[in-house]
Amino acid sequence: MGREDEQAALTGEHAGAEVASAAQRKGAYAAQGDGAPGAAQTETAACCHHKETPRSAQFQADLQRRLNRAIGQLNGVKGMLDDNRYCGDVLTQLAAAESAIRSVSGMLLQDHLETCVVEQIRRGNDEVVEEVVQLVKRFSR
């Protein structure tokens, strides 16, 4: 992928994030019931919720550090591909990046269970259990 293609892909990702952000705001209006246009028909998408209990600064920093490491590994893989490096070496680096991302996913899943899910169940929202089942299925592959 050339620089122009990468830039176009990034621009597309940012546009998608802006659309998601707009949908998130619209969903927030519906949740608040503030009379925003279309608020009665709008449901908040599962991908757009905000965490009610803030993550600790230490946990947040740990997640960011791990993600930055994985991003660095992926950038290294891109460089290896550009340099036409041996496939086995590239695959080894990809496995390391995958492992780093799975580690972050596991940490977030545990935090989600210990905070968000517990809070929802205490409020009587048993529907969160189905979400947890789907998340565990997704991340146990």
End-to-end CA distance of the chain: 29
**Are 26 and 36 in contact, with CB atoms under 8 Å apart?**
yes
Structure confidence at residue 33 (pLDDT):
39
Structure confidence at residue 48 (pLDDT):
67
User: Greater confidence, 127 or 17?
Assistant: 127
Output Rg (C-alpha) for the chain, integer angstroms. Answer: 19
Lowest mean pLDDT among 4-8, 92-96, 103-107, 118-122: 4-8
Residues near 36 by Cβ (< 8 Å), separated by ≥ 6?
A: 26, 29, 30
Question: What number is the average pLDDT over the span 84-112?
Answer: 95
Structure confidence at residue 21 (pLDDT):
38
Give exposure, 10-42, as e/b (b: 16+ Cβ within 10 Å): eeeeeeeeeeeeeeeebbbbbeeeeeeeebeeb
Using the predicted structure, report yes or no on whether residue 53 has a pLDDT greater than 50.
yes
Using the predicted structure, report yes or no on whether residue 56 has a pLDDT greater than 70.
yes
Using the predicted structure, report yes or no on whether residue 90 has a pLDDT greater than 60.
yes
Structure confidence at residue 108 (pLDDT):
94
Distance CA 73, CA 77 (A): 6
Structure confidence at residue 47 (pLDDT):
64
Determine phi and psi for 22, rounding to 5 degrees: -65, -40
Which two three-digit tokens encode residue 120?
């929802």
